[in-house]
Structure 1
C-alpha cells in the first residue's frame, strides 16, 4: 500500500480519532488533520513491522482500523505533551 493511500486513510482516520476522543485540541482542525495523516502512516508502520503480520495491502477494513489506531495514539500523545506544557 503506497504512501498516498495512507495519507487518504489518515485524513479519514483523523476525523474518526477526533470523534473517538472529543474535546479541545491546542492546534485546531489543521493539526488534527496532520495528526490523522501521520497517524495513518504510524498505523501502517505498526501493521507491517511491529505487529509481525503480513502487512497491510490495499484499501480494506483492517487497513482503516490500523490508520485509526495510529491516529488515536498520536492524538493522545499530542494532548499529553501540550497539556503538560500549558499547566
Structure 2
C-alpha cells in the first residue's frame, strides 16, 4: 500500500473514530492523522488474526473498519490515561 493511501486511510479512520467516541478530544489534524495511522496498525494486527495469510499491511475489505476500531481503542486508552493524571482537589 502506498504511503499516501496509508495517510489518507489513517486520516479518515481518525476522523470517524473521533466522531463516534463520546466526549471532547481536543486534537488537531496532525494528531488525528497519527491516531488513525496508529489505529490502522492496531486494526491491521487484529485483522491479521482473522485472516489466514496473517499479513498486517495488506489492504483488506474490512481494513477501514478495523482501523476505526483500533483508533477508538487508542482514544479510549488515551482518555483513561489522561483522567488518571489529573489532580482532584
What TM-score, normalized to structure 2? 0.73
User: How many pairs are equivalent?
Assistant: 82
Query: What is the root-mean-square deviation of aligned Cα atoms in Å?
Result: 2.2
**Are 2:27 and 1:28 aligned?**
yes
> 1:39·1:67 contact (CA, 8 Å) conserved in 2?
yes
1:74 aligns with 2:74: yes
Q: Show structure 1 runs of 4+ deviating over 4 A.
A: none
Instruction: Report which of the two structures shows the higher radius of gyration computed on alpha carbons.
Output: 2
TM-score where L is the length of structure 1 = 0.74
Deviations 1:16-60 (A, max 9, x none): 0011113222x5224333211111121112211xx2423574363
Partner SS state of residue 28, structure 1 = coil
- In structure 2, stretches of 5+ residues that fail to align are none
Q: What is the DSSP-based 3-state SS (H/G/I as helix, E as strand, rest coil) of the residue aligned with 1:84?
A: helix
User: When you count helix as a share of all residues, which structure comes out higher?
Assistant: 1
